[in-house]
Each structure stands twice: as structure tokens, then as C-alpha cells.
Amino acid sequence: MHKTLGQKIKELRRSKKMTQSELGDGLVTPSMISQIEADKASPSHKLLGELAERLGVTIQYFLEDIQAKIAKNGTLKYARMLMEADNFESASQLLGELLSEPIPHLETSLIKLDLAYCLQKQGEIEKALELYEEIVHDSMSKDEPGYAVTALRAMGTVEYERGNLVLANFHWNKAVTIGLRQSQIDVDRISDVMLLLAQSQNKLGDNADALDTLRRVQTFLERSNDMPKLATLSRTFCEVYRDLGLFKKAEEFAHDAIAIYKTLNMRSETTYMKITLAQIMDENGRSDDALRLLEDCLEQADVEVMEVIAHIHSVIAKIFYRLDRYDLAKAHCEKALAFGDNDYETLIQVYRILSNICLKREQYTEGIYNCEQLIYLCQKQHRVAELTRAFTLLSDIYKRQGNYMSATETFQRMQKAVENNLREKTVV
């Protein structure tokens, strides 16, 4: 087995029947010798030479270990450069090599976190989750909770992106519990996870828990200058109050978030927050104000960011549909489709509006086509609740058309499709 620098020094000292005090006499304290032997401290080149002389060996005997450490550090830096360049496959190979021959001062948990991230980016989700789980277990056994919190945060993000809100909420809640248990709380790390937790709690309908989590984050950040995080805090408060129907409070936090995003010159985030504010205005019975704000967003939107423009048109279409102004709603739906071919959220909303317009106008053939598009998108995104509503809407169109056989077949299709989606999707 390869011996570390500290192990070599300790073995030689013991073979010469020297105490740590005798070895370090006149050079360093016994405590420093103990740290060097435990590979928790690195001696300078000069000190290493003097220790080598007292132990009866040449400095070259020890330099091999230092050179190996330098080489490993260089490999880690290069692996991270590859990660920054999105070359995750090559980075994974280098990180795997580092883990196969670990050396002191290169923290294994940190390398494993990098490797798990690379696996995640390569689509090897299950392998990534297994490695994150291993990091959590090892970190807690070594009393390194910071790595456990980071790994759990990553696990929650993976599950959130897979649409598994319950499991995402579980991982983030566990990360927060571990983080808050420490005598010295890492405010930056724990507030970041708590913001994610609040979002998942809100989406799961646990609004009271979400508000409690956000207020705790607010306490952590009350003296903070972390403007992006303060913007996220205001945005999440806005989302929770909106879902609770407390529109005045939601608007206040929306304005706070917009002001911070403007200060940071984050144009895309500013626009999306303005769109959210417009939706809140509409839900609060101020449709004209909402439409004016959305038109303003269209004028200021970056023409290169097609998804933003598509999203604005879809929100305008929804307002016009609710106001029974179907021609204008359809026109904005068509504009949204022209700009947002890759924005699934927008496409789902647009095809739902178009399907409902066709049902209202008794344009059944076109309505069936739009519903089938909606069903396809919901299946692709594993949106089970949306999928059920889409099939129900299609069945309603067939019934209005007088085609009861197709309506019945649609319900049978719905059962199979929902079962398949639930089977493919990770569920708790």
C-alpha cells in the first residue's frame, strides 16, 4: 500500500524511538509534528529537509509524495476546466482516476461531488444519485455535514427536474435539518437550500410551511448583501402569497423582486417577474393594467430570446380568452407558437387555450387537432394532471360533436396514458 508523507515520517520517527517533541525540537511544536504525521499539515521544503536529516534519509525520499500531490492537484484543476467547457465525459474519467488512488489533502467527498455532477450532466441519473447518496453517508460518518448538505441539495434538484416534487422536498428538508443542526451555520449554503425547499413546499400546497421557511431565510439574510438571493426570496414570497390569493402582498414582493433584478441588470429575470406581476393583476380583476404591462414587456423584450416573447403572448392570450375575446386570444396564441417551439410550458398553455376556443366555437376538427397536440406535450413532459385534463377536454369535444364512441375511446386512452406516465415517472 502506498504510504503518505505523514505515514513515512511517523514510521521513521518510531523506528528511531524518537518522540514528536524530540523530532521537532528547535524546529516546530510537537503539535505541528502530530499534524504533519496525520497529513493535516504540509511542511515547508526547508522544514522537510531538516526533518529528513534528523530521520537519517535524504529529502528525495519525501519529495516523491509531494510531487504526487502536485500532480493530483493539477489533474483536479484540469478536470474542473473540462467541466467548465461542458466536456463531462473526459472530466469523469480524470475524476475517476483520482478516486482510484486518493491522496491526503485532496478531499474525496469534493471529488465525488464533481464526479456525480458530471454523471448527472451525461444523463446517468441513477449513477449520480447513488454517488450523491454515498457522499451523504460518508460525510455524516466523518462529521463533514457541509458535503452532505451539498449532495442532498443536488439530489433534490435532480428529483425536482424529473417532476418528483415529493422526493425533492424530502431531500431539501433533510439538507436543511442537517445544516441547521451545526454549531456554526453556513448561512450562504443553508439559505440557498431553504429557498428551494420553500418553492417545493408551495408547489405541494404546503403554503404555511413555505411561508415559515421563507421567514427563516429572511432572518438569515436581513443583513446580507447577496442581491440575487434577496431577489429569489422576494420572488418566492410573491409566488406563495399569489397561490394563497393574497394579491396585495404578492404585488408588493413582485415589485421588490423587479427592483432588485433591475439593479443587477438581469433583464430576462426582470421581464419574467413583470409577467408574473401582470398575471397577479389579472387574477385580482385588473385586466387592463395587466395587458398594458404585458404590452410594455413585449416592447422591451430581447428579440433574440424567443421563449420570453412566446411566453408573453401566451399570457396575453389567456387573459383575452378569459374575457371572451376569442379572436385576440387566438391571434396571440399563433404568435406564441411562432416564437416558442421549444418552450413546453408555453406550448401546453397555448394548445389548451386553442382547444377551448374551438370547443366554444364548435370548430371540432381543429379542436381535436389542438387537443392531440396538447396530449402529446403533456405525455412528453410527464404532466399527469395536465394530461388528464387534456383527455377530458378531447372527450368533451367528441361529445359535443355527437361522437360518443370516440369520447368513450378517449377515456380508455386516458387510463392507459396515465398508467404509462406514472410507470415511467419516478414516484414516491
Q: CATH number of the domain that 80 lies in? A: 1.10.260.40
Distance between CA atoms of 419 and 416, rounded to whole angstroms?
5
Number of domains the chain is built from: 1
Task: Please indicate, yes or no, if residue 30 is contained in any of the structural domains.
Answer: yes
Q: Please tell me the predicted confidence (pLDDT) of residue 344.
A: 86
Distance between CA atoms of 339 and 348, rounded to whole angstroms?
14
Average pLDDT over every residue of 76-80: 82
Task: Please indicate, yes or no, if residue 256 is contained in any of the structural domains.
Answer: no
Query: Has residue 306 got a pLDDT over 90?
Result: no
Task: Please indicate, yes or no, if residue 94 is contained in any of the structural domains.
Answer: yes
Task: Please indicate, yes or no, if residue 36 is contained in any of the structural domains.
Answer: yes
Query: Has residue 73 got a pLDDT over 90?
Result: no
The range of the structural domain enclosing residue 79 comes to 1-106
Cβ of 8: how many Cβ atoms within 10 Å? Answer: 18
Task: Please indicate, yes or no, if residue 84 is contained in any of the structural domains.
Answer: yes
Query: Does this model's pTM top 0.75?
Result: no
DSSP assignment string, 370-419: HHHHHHHHHHHTT-HHHHHHHHHHHHHHHHHHT-HHHHHHHHHHHHHHHH
Task: Please indicate, yes or no, if residue 13 is contained in any of the structural domains.
Answer: yes
Task: Please indicate, yes or no, if residue 159 is contained in any of the structural domains.
Answer: no
Task: Please indicate, yes or no, if residue 132 is contained in any of the structural domains.
Answer: no
End-to-end CA distance of the chain: 44
Residues of the chain with pLDDT > 90, as a percent, come to: 61
Average pLDDT over every residue of 101-109: 68
Give the single-character DSSP code of 77.
H
Distance between CA atoms of 400 and 364, rounded to whole angstroms?
8
Average pLDDT over every residue of 340-350: 86
Here the cell at position 66 is 509531494
Dump pLDDT digits (tens) for 393-415. 999 999 999 999 999 999 999 98
